[in-house]
Amino acid sequence: MNTPPLYRQLANHYLDAIRSGTLKTGERLPSIRLMMEKHAVSLSTAVQVCRELEDYGVLEARPRSGNYIRQPDSAPKPAPALAPALDTSLYAGIHEQVCAVLKASQHSTIKVNFASAYCAPELYPLKTLQDNMIKTMRSDAYLLGAAGSTCGNGALRNILARRALASKTHLAPERIVITNGATEAINLALRAVTRPGDTVAVESPTFYGLLQILESLNLRVLEVPASAHTGLNLAALQLLLQGPERIKALIVVPNLQNPLGSIMPDANKARLVKLCAEHNTVLIEDDTYGDLVDSEQPLSTLKHWDRTDNVIYCASLNKTLAPGMRLGWISAGKWHDRVEMLKHTQSRGCEVLSQLAVSEFMRTPSYERYLRRLRKTLTVQREQMSTAISRYFPIGTSVTHPQGGTLLWVELPRRHSSMVFFQEALKVGIQISPGDIFSNANRFDHFVRIGCGAPYSPRIDEALQTLGRILKNQG
């Protein structure tokens, strides 16, 4: 048997102290700094120890005060039979787990899919986009006969730059690169500013797709706690930035974070941008969801607060307009030339037809009207789903109330395992996203992400009832 990783040894040390009564309920745990000094461990290990204790339900974080010992909800989970050889919080290793989850879903007959972050197809303006594609093809018989330029179509880049102005974000059209979704945008950003082995910080929980990208690029991952209200925890970030480990880049979804749905307050955005600049940590912003906010007032971006060209802005139309078109973009500021080179050698310029068809739509007032309608629809759908979950799921369940988007992040009572829940649901044809895959550190074992992209219906209502029953049967 391998030796448990250091953080687990230390966590066990504190667990023993709590069980034996040496540390009592209500007492304060040594601060992270003290823990680092006392045990001669790194910042990330100390942070991980606290997470571990949190996971055991014996620790309560009180803002601006510290970590306090609390009565565990239930019996502590038994230690895993085989401790992993690697500290999984530092190395992304989530890909296999995510694949297992996705493949299990592919091999099942799915009747109701709550695992998607997309809107239902009927909510997208597909007819208009199809018509635009046909019109575009008819007006240029040779369109399919020539490759597009690496950076993408000029008309679309202009429109994206003009739209960004609404959120007071200045993106020079000639420094925008059209990509295959935000996935490629973030991939390019990371390839431009990191090397294999570098450390990149992400929000925790974070979209599992991000963890997969980081793993594929052999990057080390540091998870920074985030809350459903204000997103990334800046105090925690600051500690990590001051720690011994050089953080090369930080990826943040400031608006309607996936899965939390959090929106960072403007003051936090400004402070975050400043912090990263001060520590020479490149800030990669993913603004894929911003346009799905309930309010008519556009949300500010991190890029808006950027004075030192240290923010790489990424976004996508996959969630807001047409998942099938795979259109995203990146504005990489001073790294533009490198990103352009990487895009050229990675996949060349994106296919032109969809860029033209989308531009045609986005330059008309219909686009804003469409977005307004979509936002209202999503508000209603989320509200209905949230009400049903509160009704059908066991007491002790709590649901986020994001101010936009398609996602709810559901915390189940601690006794539940989201992987068991996922498997049970799959057996009856219902797909959910288990919390486990939103972190490398098993922090969200009793969470699930529920997508609200589809109009509420008796079928959905019934599926949520079934999910509630499954949970109640688990005891």
Smallest gap from residue 389 Cβ to a copy of itself (A): 25
For residue 176, report the phi and psi dihedrals to the nearest 5 degrees. Answer: -100, 140
Strand 433-434 versus strand 398-399 pairing type? unpaired
Pick one of 322, 407, 408, 463: the residue that binds a copy of itself (CB under 8 A): 322
**CA of 382: how far to CAs of 254, 353, 388, 390, in Å?**
20, 34, 10, 12
CB closer to a copy of itself, 22 vs 130: 130
Distance of closest approach, residue 157 Cβ to a copy of itself, in angstroms: 16
Q: Which of residues 236-275 bind a copy of itself (CB under 8 A)?
A: none
Class of residue 288 by CB neighbours under 10 A (exposed 0-12, middle 13-18, buried 19+): buried
Of the candidate spans 41-49, 279-287, 346-354, 391-399, the one that interacts with a copy of itself by CB under 8 A turns out to be 346-354
433 binds a copy of itself (CB under 8 A): no
Say whether residue 20 binds a copy of itself (CB under 8 A): no
Please state whether the peptide bond connecting residue 205 to the residue before it is cis, i.e. omega within 30 degrees of 0: yes
Smallest gap from Cβ 119 to a copy of itself, in A, equals 8
Q: How far apart are CA 417 and CA 425, in angstroms?
A: 12
Residue whose CB is less far from a copy of itself, 41 or 213: 213
Binding part of the chain for a copy of itself, among 75-83, 208-216, 285-293, 385-393 by CB under 8 A, reads 208-216
Task: Select 64 or 127, whichever has its Cβ closest to a copy of itself.
Answer: 127
Pairing mode, if any, of strands 433-434 and 430-431? unpaired
109 is a site residue for a copy of itself (CB under 8 A): no
Is 179 a binder of a copy of itself (CB under 8 A)? yes
Helix and strand numbers (H, E) in the chain are 15, 16
Q: Which of residues 123-152 bind a copy of itself (CB under 8 A)?
A: 124, 126-127, 129-130, 133-134, 137-138, 141-148
Contact pattern from residue 301 through residue 320 relative to a copy of itself, giving x for each residue in contact according to CB under 8 A and a dash for the rest = -----------------x--
Say if residues 159 and 321 touch (Cβ distance below 8 Å): no
Q: Please give the C-alpha separations between residue 353 and each of 188, 329, 344, 364, in angstroms, as whole numbers.
A: 23, 16, 18, 18
Nearer to a copy of itself, 187 or 418 (CB): 187
Number of residues that bind a copy of itself (CB under 8 A): 56
Residue span binding a copy of itself (CB under 8 A) among the ranges 29-37, 273-281, 341-349, 373-381: 341-349
Does residue 338 contact residue 185 with C-beta atoms inside 8 Å?
A: no
Q: Verify binding: residue 324, a copy of itself, rule CB under 8 A.
A: yes
Torsion-angle region of residue 204: left (phi > 0), alpha (psi -120 to 50) or beta?
A: beta
Min dist CB 118 to a copy of itself, Å, is 7
28 in contact with a copy of itself (CB under 8 A): no
Site for a copy of itself contains 195 (CB under 8 A): yes
| Cross-strand pairs, 329 | 178, 315
Crossing angle (nearest 10°) for helices 95-106 and 208-216 = 130
Please say which residue, 114 or 421, places its beta carbon nearer to a copy of itself: 114
H or E element at residue 312 = strand 311-316
Interatomic CA distance for residues 291 and 327, integer angstroms: 15
Is there binding between residue 381 and a copy of itself (CB under 8 A)? no
Among 101, 151, 284, 353, binds a copy of itself (CB under 8 A): 353
346 binds a copy of itself per the rule CB under 8 A: yes
Residue selected from 183, 359, 397, 431 as contacting a copy of itself according to rule CB under 8 A: 183
CA distances in angstroms from 365 to 299, 342, 361, 376, listed in the order given: 19, 35, 8, 17
Stretch that binds a copy of itself, among 32-40, 113-121, 289-297, 380-388 (CB under 8 A): 113-121
Q: Which stretch binds a copy of itself (CB under 8 A): 41-49, 119-127, 362-370, 380-388?
A: 119-127
Classified as helix, coil or strand, 413 is coil
Is 230 in contact with 268 (CB distance < 8 Å)? yes
Nearer to a copy of itself, 341 or 420 (CB): 341
**Amino acid sitting at position 461:** D
Query: Within 74-103, which residues bind a copy of itself (CB under 8 A)?
Result: 95, 99
Task: Annotate 344-412 with DSSP letters as a single string.
Answer: HHHT-SPPHHHHHHHHHHHTSHHHHHHHHHHHHHHHHHHHHHHHHHHHHSPTT-EE---SBSSEEEEEP
Residue ranges in contact with a copy of itself by CB under 8 A: 95, 99, 118, 120-122, 124, 126-127, 129-130, 133-134, 137-138, 141-148, 179-181, 183-184, 187, 195-196, 209, 212-213, 215-217, 318, 322-326, 341-342, 344-354
